[in-house]
Amino acid sequence: MAEGIEGKVLGKQISHPREYAPEILVAVPRVLNREQYDINNNSLPFIGVDAWHAYELGFLTEKGLPVAGVLKIVYSCNSEFLVESKSLKLYLNSFNMGKYGGNKTEGVAMVIATIKKDLQDLLKTSVDISFHDKYAKDNFDFSEYELLEDMSGVQEIEFKSFTEEESLLSADADTANQEIKVATNLLRSNCKITHQPDWGSAYIHIKCKEGIDISSLLKYLVSIRDENHFHEEICEMLYKRLYDKFSPEILMVSCLYTRRGGIDICPVRANKKEYLPKAIIQSEILTSQAFRQ
């Protein structure tokens, strides 16, 4: 059943709709993936959002003037459903030749209102949406994070596991009770349906009583290289493994994926609201891009 829902449009050859087509949107129940990691929908071990950047939103005004920009979509991970990415791409493309509003301002307002309603009806949750047509300001949330692949001795580490292996994670007393902020641009997994590679950057903020061995964390992140999951699922898997292993006082995981089909997906999960990256979780802020974006 899961693959039937998730693969309704993903992995299939479908023509871009030439007219407004809300019926093409696909909602995927989050529970389909959460069960295998013992994540209870009624008692989530995290809070957070899924932030989407759609770089190819475009439509025409009533006079035929093209309007183009970036659409930022943000909705809570508490929602029962997530939206399947290819269906969202096709849906947004259905606006391309439509005419909305007597001018740009009117058109943007009409299109945003339509998209907001359609996504809220689909996902049965509140959705924040903003339209951006200017470059992002310098508001990158992760400038203080240290790249794991740049740490001393990394070239000497032997990596053997390329499917997820939680046993690779280990404690380290040297980092006990320290706040650790680390990142990697080596994040890679595969699409759940098509098995095509997905690239991204992962950011982890953690503080735990027994400490965490940083090299073991890099080994673990590398071990998901050949896993087949949606982006949101990878983020929640990373979070849950760290949560279960270390019972951290502070835990935040962000996975900022490379755009594919004109859309990137940026799920973030944390154990407390104050650890969520402020620019990512607000639709009205267009954040500076990560290296992989």
Write down the residue that tokens 């939680």 correspond to.
Answer: 166
Strand partners, 74: 51, 128
Give the closest residue to 291 by CA, choosing from 203, 190, 191: 203
Question: Does the annotation mark 198 as catalytic?
Answer: yes
On whether the CB atoms of residues 241 and 205 are closer than 8 A, the answer is no
CB atoms within 10 A of CB 217: 23
- Sequence-distant (6+) residues with CB within 8 A of 115 are 71, 73, 92, 129
- Determine which one of 118, 141, 191, 208 is catalytic: 191
Question: Does the annotation mark 133 as catalytic?
Answer: no
What is the strand order of the sheet 127-132 is part of?
127-132, 66-76, 47-60, 263-270, 250-257, 197-207, 180-190, 146-147
| Main-chain dihedrals φ then ψ at residue 194, nearest 5 degrees | -90, -20
On whether the CB atoms of residues 14 and 212 are closer than 8 A, the answer is no
- Determine which one of 50, 118, 141, 198 is catalytic: 198
Give the closest residue to 198 by CA, choosing from 224, 159, 164: 224
Active-site positions read 191, 198
